[in-house]
Structure 1
Amino acid sequence: MSTSEAADTATTAEPATAEQAAAEPATAAGPVEITVRDGVLRILLNQPARRNALDMAAVGVLVDALDAASTDDTLRAVVLEGAGGHFCSGANWVSSNTGAKDDGANGAEAPKPRTKPRPGSVQRRTPVQAHRLVQLLMEIQLPVVCVVRGWAAGLGFQLALAADVTVAADDARFWEPFLERGFTPDSGATWLLPRLVGIARARDLLLLGRKLTGAEAAAWGLIHASAPAEELDALAAGIIEQLATGPTVAIGLAKRSINRNLENSFAQALENEALALELSSRTADFREGLAAFTTRRPPSYTGR
Structure 2
Amino acid sequence: MSRESETAPGGTVAVHRENDVLHLVIDRNERRNSLSAAMVDTLVATLTDAASDPALRAIHLGANGKDFCSGVDWIAPNDSDGPRPRTGDLVRRIPHTSHRIIELLHTIQLPVVCSVRGWAVGMGCNMALAADFTVAAEDAVFWEPFLTRGFSPDSGSTWLLPRLIGLTRAKRMLLLGEKVSAADAAAWGLIDRCVPAADLDTSVRALLDQLAAGPTVAIGLAKQAMTFAQHATLPQAMHQELYDLELSCRTSDFKEGLTAFRERREPGFRGR
Whether the TM-score (by the shorter chain) exceeds 0.5 is: yes
CA deviations 1:209-244 (Å, max 9, x no partner) are 010111110001000001010111121111100001
1:259 to 227, 235, 247: 227
- Deviation, 1:113, is 4.9
Structure number with higher strand proportion = 2
Instruction: From 199, 219, 229, give the equivalent of 1:231.
Output: 199
Gaps of 5+ in 2: 1-8
Question: Which letter maps to 1:203?
Answer: K
Distance in 1, matches of 2:228 and 2:33, equals 30
Aligned to 1:180: 148
**Out of 37, 55, 58, which is 1:56 matched to?**
37
2:107 match: 139
Whether the 8 Å CA contact 1:175–1:210 is kept in 2: the answer is yes
Task: Provide the TM-score with structure 1 as the length reference.
Answer: 0.84
Pair 1:301 & 2:269 matched: yes
> Cα deviations across residues 239-277 of structure 1 (Å, max 9, x unaligned)?
100001110000000000111111111111101111111
For residue 171 of structure 2, give the secondary structure of its aligned residue in structure 1. helix
Q: CA deviation at 1:130?
A: 1.1
1:155 to 116, 123, 127: 123
| Correspondence for 1:26 | 10
Give the aligned partner of residue 73 of structure 2: 92
Q: Distance in 2 between matches of 1:232 and 1:49?
A: 23
Measure, in 1, the Cα distance between the counterparts of 2:56 and 2:83.
Answer: 42
What letter matches 1:54 in structure 2? L
User: Equivalents in 2 of 1:136, 1:234: separation in Å?
Assistant: 26
Checking the alignment, whether the CA contact within 8 Å between 1:48 and 1:82 is kept in structure 2 is: no
Query: What is the identity, as a one-letter code, of the residue corresponding to 1:288?
Result: E
User: What SS class does the counterpart of residue 75 from structure 2 fall into?
Assistant: helix
Partner of 1:248: 216
SS at match of 1:32: strand
Deviation at 1:139, TM superposition (A): 1.3
Of the candidates 92, 107, 128, which is equivalent to residue 96 of structure 2? 128
CA RMSD of aligned residues (A): 1.4
**What does residue 16 of structure 1 align with?**
none
Identity %: 51
Summarize deviations over 1:64-84 as a string: whole Å, max 9, x none: 001100010010000000111
| Equivalent position of 1:76 in the other structure | 57
Question: How many residue pairs were aligned?
Answer: 264
Return the match for 1:37 from 11, 18, 27.
18
TM-score scaled to structure 2, two decimals?
Answer: 0.94
Question: Given residue 239 of structure 2, which amino acid in structure 1 is its aligned partner?
Answer: E
One-letter code of the match for 1:93?
W
Aligned to 1:273: 241
TM-aligned CA deviation for residue 148 of structure 1:
0.4
